[in-house]
Structure 1
């Protein structure tokens, strides 16, 4: 039931666990409606949970600042949904699929990892140079850039627990900035590369073994068809997720016991990845990609909606200028990295130029933004089929694992 209390001369509305999930689900639906009516939100691939949740967060900010009311959510389900989503990510970490991608996929994965390291190094040292908490530099780096809203929602509370006030709100704001800026810079950068080097599309054999791209926190924002679902496979997938989550708590507990700080979902991701590769090697049990993808997408949408509704925007006011400085540096890093590293490493050809555009969207926001960037380039200059195989495959496999590991390492060092 609703509980009202008088706190700081302001009414506080406390929502219980059921009311919280019902409220945030309604906000998610409102976000979908708003997105369908405003074309620019579709253009920049802004997720519906972010649209609805951030809109409510602004309203909640106004209500609090004017002394009308403060709304408090029960976030118990938020943690469960987060763990469930990242567990489904773990089930996509197939070494068998990665090997089938070929050397170009391996190369793009390697440079994506290098970008993650560069983002965090630049972020942390830039924060120190301007005299703010290094954790602020970390949260504006690969947490919110390569990690997007999913990693922001996961690591935000952990960073707050380690002393960065308002970390969740900061991370979500940075992730939204990344989505927009990554979408803006990709097309012009590729256009410059194509014209400067006089690049032309080539006849390239397209890889046949495309895998689903809707498997990490970024790609799941896409509204795509996942085909007909099987009730038995859906039940089996839910059971596998629950088992991985349960065993994952033991793994996470062991990490905590030896003094390693990391998000609670990491253990579940590791267990899920082990289960997936056992399935690939031995065939003891089947991993159903469609069903896992569907479950993961639902969990991510609800998790993000609840996380966005819980944002405390008033905690961002004093940090606005430092955050803008750090985000500007991250954008410049992405431009230089895509132009000089991605393009050159991936072959200096037309496909490499298209991938450079995609990497801008992928490295600052989400895989759908990267794909949108590549589509804008190919619609003007011609097809680059292998680019549309390489980028989603890297986003679908190990990048979330690696980003989480790198962020965890930096947190423990700081």
Structure 2
């Protein structure tokens, strides 16, 4: 860590270890504030988003006041990002897809259509308000269905293609989407349930337990140093093979591919081969634990290094684009998704879930559905299907869709 004067302004340069330390401290701060401030808890705002954004706002004030400019070494950000998405791939069991049946395939199809439409809307509205089409993609499926994780991952790729401020725009849109998804999910379900006088067909509420039982997830952890190292090795191998595969694909096709894509799809292949041949015993509590740690550090680091000053001239046009996304998903879930899912109680609950993860995050979807089922009754089907699709199935189509649009407008 050192200071120097550049262009008449004091500049603080933070090395990679100090940057990692700061990211961890901001993550703890975000967790603390999330527990203390009801707004953050109610709308499921991630802790790293809270801590990271607060620091980026502070950095903005210090820079704009010509007090000090902060430069950070984010060398660790990419490995943590790739490791997180690798853990997502390891959770992608196609055996679970079969258990979801026809409703799962229908829901998945409409999520895929939504991802494409979000990019179409983002690009179209961006052109309408005079923004670069790539920023439209950042405010499309990247930040809406992709959430903060995809926003922080794809943003640097867009910037490497010459689109200034892409990461900041994507993160800002993801934050707007996350809050919007939490606001509209419950009202959408309530409207549908009241309008069609829908009732649940189940006697007891076992949604999350049912999903976890089907998924083979246990609350009892047996994490030892050996178990941890085995899973760290699996993740590292998938990351290495995925990186090699991604580099080869980029050279062969010329397509810009984010670093985590190869690792995630390598992990998907490994998981399903492992389900069949049992190469290694996977402990999904350990995988989730590693994934949570990596996501927290990666997002905290991505958010705290945002260049918010790049949003000054984009704020107005951005609002028009993201509001268009919210209006579209509201109409889409009410008039199309709900009807094709059967116009029953489960369909109404899944509509609330789609509003949640379609505008930001799977936890948002769970929060929406939990609020609905607590008031109206249980929906085991919704709690099986929505997490499966929102957590990983959508990425199988959503990521290629994003990559295609980014390369189309680069």
TM-score, scaled relative to structure 1 = 0.94
Residues 298-329 of structure 1 deviation map (CA, whole Å, 9 limit, x = unaligned):
00000000000100000001001110000010
Say whether residues 1:318 and 2:313 are aligned partners: yes
Distance apart, 1:226 and its partner CA: 6.7
Tell me if structure 2 keeps the 8 A contact 1:175–1:365.
yes
Which residue of 2 is the match for residue 54 of structure 1? 53
Which residue of 2 is the match for residue 193 of structure 1? 192
Say which SS state the counterpart of residue 386 (structure 1) adopts: helix
1:373-388 matches, within 5 Å, as 373-388=368-383
Tell me if structure 2 keeps the 8 A contact 1:13–1:71.
yes
Which residue of 2 is the match for residue 220 of structure 1? none
Tell me if structure 2 keeps the 8 A contact 1:255–1:261.
no
Say whether residues 1:68 and 2:76 are aligned partners: no
| Cα distance in structure 2, aligned partners of 1:100 and 1:381 | 25
My pick for the range that moved more, 309-318 or 398-407, is 398-407
Candidates 265, 285, 288, aligned match of 1:270 = 265
| Cα distance in structure 2, aligned partners of 1:202 and 1:149 | 36
| Cα distance in structure 1, aligned partners of 2:316 and 2:270 | 45
Distance apart, 1:160 and its partner CA: 0.9
Tell me if structure 1 keeps the 8 A contact 2:243–2:259.
yes
Which residue of 1 is the match for residue 404 of structure 2? 409
Say which SS state the counterpart of residue 140 (structure 2) adopts: coil
Candidates 318, 321, 334, aligned match of 1:339 = 334
Distance apart, 1:166 and its partner CA: 0.9
Which residue of 2 is the match for residue 218 of structure 1? none
Which residue of 1 is the match for residue 178 of structure 2? 179
Residues 178-235 of structure 1 deviation map (CA, whole Å, 9 limit, x = unaligned):
1111111111111111111111121279788624899xxxxxxxxx967342432211
Distance apart, 1:55 and its partner CA: 0.6
Say whether residues 1:237 and 2:231 are aligned partners: yes
* Residue correspondences, number: 404
Distance apart, 1:284 and its partner CA: 2.2
Tell me if structure 2 keeps the 8 A contact 1:186–1:373.
yes
Over the residues paired in the alignment, what is the CA RMSD in angstroms?
1.9
| Cα distance in structure 2, aligned partners of 1:320 and 1:257 | 36
| Cα distance in structure 2, aligned partners of 1:78 and 1:124 | 28
| Cα distance in structure 2, aligned partners of 1:147 and 1:75 | 22
Q: Any unmatched runs of 5+ in structure 1? A: 215-223
| Cα distance in structure 2, aligned partners of 1:365 and 1:281 | 33
Which residue of 2 is the match for residue 255 of structure 1? 249
Which residue of 2 is the match for residue 135 of structure 1? 134
| Cα distance in structure 1, aligned partners of 2:248 and 2:98 | 31
| Cα distance in structure 1, aligned partners of 2:213 and 2:408 | 35
| Cα distance in structure 2, aligned partners of 1:333 and 1:272 | 33
Tell me if structure 1 keeps the 8 A contact 2:211–2:383.
no
Candidates 362, 365, 369, aligned match of 1:370 = 365
Which residue of 1 is the match for residue 163 of structure 2? 164
Residues 85-113 of structure 1 deviation map (CA, whole Å, 9 limit, x = unaligned):
11111112222222222222222111111
Say which SS state the counterpart of residue 11 (structure 1) adopts: strand
Tell me if structure 1 keeps the 8 A contact 2:221–2:286.
no
Distance apart, 1:363 and its partner CA: 0.4
1:218-237 matches, within 5 Å, as 227-237=221-231
Which residue of 2 is the match for residue 124 of structure 1? 123
Residues 14-61 of structure 1 deviation map (CA, whole Å, 9 limit, x = unaligned):
111111100111111111111111011000000000000001111110
Which residue of 2 is the match for residue 40 of structure 1? 39
Tell me if structure 2 keeps the 8 A contact 1:226–1:294.
no
| Cα distance in structure 1, aligned partners of 2:214 and 2:274 | 20
| Cα distance in structure 2, aligned partners of 1:246 and 1:196 | 52
Say whether residues 1:5 and 2:12 are aligned partners: no
Say which SS state the counterpart of residue 140 (structure 1) adopts: helix
Tell me if structure 1 keeps the 8 A contact 2:200–2:346.
yes
Which residue of 2 is the match for residue 78 of structure 1? 77
Say which SS state the counterpart of residue 199 (structure 2) adopts: coil
Which residue of 2 is the match for residue 221 of structure 1? none
Instruction: Name whichever structure is richer in helix by fraction.
Output: 2
Say which SS state the counterpart of residue 51 (structure 1) adopts: helix
Which residue of 2 is the match for residue 210 of structure 1? 211
Say which SS state the counterpart of residue 108 (structure 2) adopts: helix
Distance apart, 1:291 and its partner CA: 1.1
Tell me if structure 2 keeps the 8 A contact 1:230–1:291.
no
